[in-house]
A and B are shown apart, each in its own frame.
Chain A
């Protein structure tokens, strides 16, 4: 079983829709939760991050973490064609100052927002 599970999609939605992207994880040591956006043949771009549980909002994007269920979500409001990309969830254990930076990624969900 993978430490981080993510539905690969593809997910196709009409412009203006609310998009919900999700990941589940099995390792309770994960404390940092990130969402990256990756356009085709490009490197991942950091979109959102959350430390421990809770919600975080940034413009059209909202990230949620439910540690009791080991479940994280990214919501995109008023989706645009420019949001079409692969969305990767990533997680990191708390390692203390001087510890490591290893990220564990999901497989990514391919999103297409259609006109």
Chain B
């Protein structure tokens, strides 16, 4: 079975630009979460969506937004990019929300802002 897939793999953007990152969860999984991992740090929670509804939001500015589609894939959008947005963006897939330990991560999208 295919795991979590993310696209693109790498991305280079300029300050002030906008970026869209995409995630396809494991087949049958209805929850997608997004995390930001800065070099040398653990992942930080950005958003969670379950069945197209937002179920959690981390401490990130409004420049960050996300949505989930009917097929449970998801997009993360970041506007007005800053140098500090350079990081590995990870998507995590889960079959359910709430009482579960199961979250499986994709390979990530490495974003570089220059």
Chain A complexes with chain B: yes
CA distance A92 to B100 in the complex (A): 9
A-contact bits for B17-36, CB 8 A (1 contact / 0 none): 00000000000000101010
CB closest chain-B residue, reference A8: B40
CA distance A107 to B94 in the complex (A): 22
Question: Is the C-beta of B55 less than 8 angstroms from some C-beta in chain A?
Answer: yes
CA distance A44 to B92 in the complex (A): 9
Question: Is the C-beta of A75 less than 8 angstroms from some C-beta in chain B?
Answer: no
> Contact between A103 and B103 (Cβ–Cβ < 8 Å)?
yes
Given that A42-B107, A44-B90, A100-B48 are contacting pairs, would A105 and B42 also be in contact in the complex, using a CB cutoff of 8 Å?
Answer: yes
CA distance A90 to B94 in the complex (A): 15
Q: Which residues of B contact A94 (CB under 8 A)?
A: 99
> Contact between A46 and B45 (Cβ–Cβ < 8 Å)?
no
> Contact between B97 and A99 (Cβ–Cβ < 8 Å)?
yes
Question: Is the C-beta of A73 less than 8 angstroms from some C-beta in chain B?
Answer: no
Q: Which residues of B contact A71 (CB under 8 A)?
A: none
Question: Contact residues of A with B, CB < 8 Å?
Answer: 4, 6, 8, 32, 34, 36, 41-46, 49, 51, 88, 90, 92, 94-108
Pairs of residues from A and B, 7 with the lowest C-beta to C-beta distance, nearest first = A105-B42, A99-B98, A43-B105, A100-B56, A49-B101, A97-B98, A43-B107
Question: Contact residues of B with A, CB < 8 Å?
Answer: 4, 31, 33, 35, 40-45, 48, 50, 55-56, 58, 88, 90, 92, 94, 97-108, 110
Q: List 21 A-B contacts (CB under 8 A).
A: A8-B40, A41-B110, A43-B105, A43-B106, A45-B105, A46-B103, A46-B104, A46-B105, A92-B101, A95-B98, A97-B98, A98-B97, A98-B98, A101-B50, A101-B56, A101-B92, A101-B103, A102-B33, A102-B58, A103-B45, A103-B92
Instruction: Beyond the given A44-B43, A101-B50, A105-B43, please list 18 additional residue pairs across the A-B interface where CB-CB is below 8 A.
Output: A6-B42, A41-B110, A43-B107, A45-B105, A46-B102, A95-B99, A100-B55, A100-B97, A101-B48, A101-B98, A101-B100, A102-B33, A102-B48, A102-B58, A103-B33, A103-B103, A105-B42, A107-B41
